[in-house]
Amino acid sequence: DSSRNNSETISSTDVLFSVKKASRNYVTTGRDALSDDSTHIYSTIQVEIQWPVKYGDHDISILQDSLQALSLGTTKGTIDQAMANMLDNPVGHDLYTLEPIDSIATNASTMTLYQSIYSAVVSFNDKYVVYGVTRSVYEGGAHGLTTTSYLTWLSDNRVTLSLKNAFISGYDQTLLDAIKTHLIEHNNANDIDNLEKLGYFTDNIYISPNFYIDGYDIVFHYNPYDIAAYSVGSIDVRVPYYTVADIISPTLLQVFESGSI
């Protein structure tokens, strides 16, 4: 009896991901191929994606298309074709082109640029899956830049979350106030003006469309330079869903109140 009762309370959702990786090295050619007439400039591109193959019995085509678009900027062709096309048509500086090579020379007279894209699952359950797409780029200068974009897909509704379908009409001011409040608390500041001393652009704080679900929180992500100086780094503002439940759409509210978080 005990075994039968236990099996009746356990549910299973089969989930399958396939890790896809690709990389290529390049040498620059063209007018600016040498940064100081002696330093050869090379570049490397690396892409790694945890590709969704199966998510229970759900149709995951929208998840796949959304992830491919966010990672590679296109929904044309299969994911393998899109990755190969990116390596075949690399985006370089306006004044030079990138030609594929087998390997990059390592000596004091070389400079290597890079672009890496890493798309991975941040969290998932039977109600949703969250992807983070991290892009690191160095195109010369003082430092590179790393940014992350998030994608939340709801399995029952087969939609990706956006501000438009996550919140009801007229949410703007209430949600912005909540973000500012939790940003102040996170930094142990007295008020919004104190954030300016910490490197924040207090007049430019906005509702980030780059957000995701984490437990019972809605996390609004800001990359370097979005609302603060580069030295502040990336910023995550966690807003507990129950503090803004009145402006959350029925679609998202159902996920939080399903008991599956």
| DSSP per position, 137-151 | EE-SSS--EEEEEEE
Tokens of 138: 């160095």
Contacts of 217 (CB under 8 A, 6+ apart): 238, 239, 240, 241
Query: What is residue 190's DSSP assignment?
Result: S
* Element housing 69 (H / E): helix 61-72
pLDDT tens figures, 221-246: 999 999 999 999 999 999 999 999 99
Q: 230 in helix, strand or coil?
A: helix
pLDDT tens figures, 173-215: 999 999 999 999 999 998 888 999 999 999 999 999 999 999 9
pTM for the model: 0.89
